Structure 1
Amino acid sequence: MWKDEYLDLMFSNDPKKLNSLEGITLKFFNIPQSLYKYRRIDEYSLANLTNDTAWFSRATGFNDPYDSSLTINNKEHNPIHKEGLENIAREFNVPLEEIESLNTKDTLEHILYNYTKLKHNPEILATTVEKYIEGTDKEFEKYVKNISDVFQEKVFASCFSEDPTSMLMWSHYADNHKGMVIEYNFNNLDLDNQKQIMTGLHPVYYTSELLNLDNYRDVQGKISVHTLAAINKSVEWEYEKEWRIIVHNETDEIGFNLPIIKPSSIILGARVEEIHKNRLSLEAKKKGIPLKQIKLDKSSYHLEVVEF
């Protein structure tokens, strides 16, 4: 599958596999003909439509609490944990390597055997390390959460789908079928003037595991781990068939608008209100693009896009 190849070229944890130029080229030739943005109809979505802009929301504002988050398994990467072990090693005059080897409760008895001749009671040392481990477990959880929070705070995304007829997405993101879907043709990108869109646009990968930062130490600085975290989602969201334009920003705002390509059509929800139907009909004429609508199939649970 080309998406797996793309992931390796852009975000592999093996430096030898990385080739961003090949990855972008591969993506360019595999972007779907159309991608779709589900929206409720309000002053904000209408302004985006009129101005050819898209709203980029902070990851913390999405409906998935795991969005753009990650984990770390190796406590050695926690500077607080490392410093504490060094202090214990100095206090008991024991090599740091030995203390680190005891960094799980089931190996603490090892120290009783190897250091029975210490001037300090070996049981005291074992207890000290054990209590330290218990304490740093909580500190480590905070450490991992802080890193994950930083990632979520810096990542902004505008989300699209390959599917304009998802019953669930019309319900969740388009005001219970009273909203709209805006269709975009990303194959018509002007690569000179819209480079940010092309480089920031990625397919989402669905997985059962959180992104583990430990696995990417060898490619630190060579890939955007922020972006990788933002395009990894739980398999429970796979029905969304999502693509995202990812932007990293230090702003304190909850989000912002950025220019995007002109829509190729507007699709009205099956329950769209008459006032919105008239407003969007005028907007479609002004832009010279088709106006379409979702039709409910009479014999099955199926949505169909028809000309308005």
Structure 2
Amino acid sequence: MTNNIPSRLYKYKSFNVDSLDLLVSDSLYFADPTTFNDPLDCNPSVQNNMEDVDALNAILHKLVKDNHQKELEEAAAKIKNRGQKTLDKIDTLGESEAQKLINRIAENVEFFGDPHGQSVSFYIKRYLLQNYTVGILSLAKEFDCPLMWSHYADQHKGFCIGYDVSIDHVEDIYPIDYEGKRFITTQQVYDMLFGSSESLKRAAKKEIDNVILLSKAPAWKYEHEFRVISKQGLQDSPFRLSDVTFGLRFKPSAKYAVMKALQGRRGEIDFYEISLCDDSFSLKREPIDLADIYLRRFPESNYEIGCDIFEAMNCFPEE
């Protein structure tokens, strides 16, 4: 695990069926980066800093071939057809797709006068990002960020889920770099694919991973974001659910429902509600419990309450 990771990290969520399911089933959702609200996120440019046309074509050739082979191999696996003839055919088709694209770029360069490096860079980016089919779990360092409550927790009608990440899990947690670059060079991609040593390949890949997956615009710095990288989709949580903090506008009846649903969970879970500071724009949180007086009335039956009132009224003798 990366050094200097807080012992607890937080996920701001709206309150709905899906977020309740995450809590009760102890699951986490690793999102496709293409669905992020910031189109600059996980979407760097590729800048050409190489003059060797053959080297540029070699980069594109390998990326296209690998991408098509991966797609075809997944399709073959689904129909349980992975014999040697199938694998040879996949290799041939991947080679053919790569060469067709390179030939098309060369024709456009010759006909339109388009710079070769610019065209190749465009396609290098496309196929490079297609190979990053990872899922990302975004977590925050703080539970009391006013902007996060407004942006991600449905304007305080949602909650903030705390996770204990102090135990050394196999998952690595990475801090976001808000001062990083938003571009990758073709030389970096070349070194990652064809580097003269394994250490050079690993170093280049790490640099590219950091730019694609862990760099954001400085304006997002208020989020203090950390990321867990895994496969896409819903997964069992690798972290212990430590606490739940309810927003200022979270309904009391829903608080009762959430707390009741988690009452039998192994391991202690703390519950809080956000409150306002009288002397600043800061937020604070106070602990709450099912024994608190305003929660003790749930679950409530208005019919039974009405019957109780009616019976009490009938106890008084008529004058």
Q: TM-score, normalised by structure 1?
A: 0.65
Q: Determine the C-alpha separation between the residues in 1 that align with 2:278 and 2:245.
A: 19
Q: Determine the C-alpha separation between the residues in 1 that align with 2:222 and 2:212.
A: 19
Shift, 1:138, TM fit? 7.3
1:168-226 deviation per Cα after TM superposition (whole angstroms, max 9, x unaligned): 1111111111111111111124x4xxx1x2x3x21111136313143524344423544
Counterpart pick for 2:11 among 37, 42, 52:
37
Counterpart pick for 1:218 among 182, 188, 191:
191
Counterpart pick for 2:235 among 257, 269, 278:
257
Shift, 1:142, TM fit? 4.2
* Corresponding residue number in structure 2 for 1:246: 229
Runs of 5+ in structure 1 lacking a partner? Answer: 1-23, 89-127, 250-254
* Corresponding residue number in structure 2 for 1:209: 181
Q: 1:228 to 1:208 in 2, by over 3 A?
A: closer
Q: 1:283 to 1:41 in 2, by over 3 A?
A: same
Matched AA of 1:303: L
Q: Determine the C-alpha separation between the residues in 1 that align with 2:105 and 2:19.
A: 54
Equivalent residue runs for 1:126-141 within 5 Å: 131-133=112-114, 139-140=119-120
State which structure, 1 or 2, has the greater radius of gyration over its C-alpha atoms. Answer: 2
Q: Determine the C-alpha separation between the residues in 1 that align with 2:187 and 2:285.
A: 43
1:25-78 deviation per Cα after TM superposition (whole angstroms, max 9, x unaligned): xx2x42112111111111111111112211111001111112212222117425
Q: Determine the C-alpha separation between the residues in 1 that align with 2:151 and 2:160.
A: 12
Matched AA of 1:57: A
Q: Is the CA contact 2:165–2:240 (under 8 Å) kept in the aligned structure 1?
A: no
Q: 1:294 to 1:73 in 2, by over 3 A?
A: same
Q: Determine the C-alpha separation between the residues in 2 that align with 1:267 and 1:294.
A: 7
Matched AA of 1:247: S
Equivalences, count: 229
Q: Determine the C-alpha separation between the residues in 1 that align with 2:23 and 2:4.
A: 26
1:110-168 deviation per Cα after TM superposition (whole angstroms, max 9, x unaligned): xxxxxxxxxxxxxxxxxx8694226x58744642552364156x121111010111111
Q: Structure 1 vs Structure 2: percent identity of aligned residues?
A: 24
Equivalent residue runs for 1:24-103 within 5 Å: 24=1, 27=2, 29-74=3-48, 76=53, 77=56, 79=60
Q: Determine the C-alpha separation between the residues in 2 that align with 1:67 and 1:215.
A: 22
Q: Determine the C-alpha separation between the residues in 2 that align with 1:228 and 1:258.
A: 28
Cα RMSD over matched residues? Answer: 3.0
Q: 1:205 to 1:184 in 2, by over 3 A?
A: same
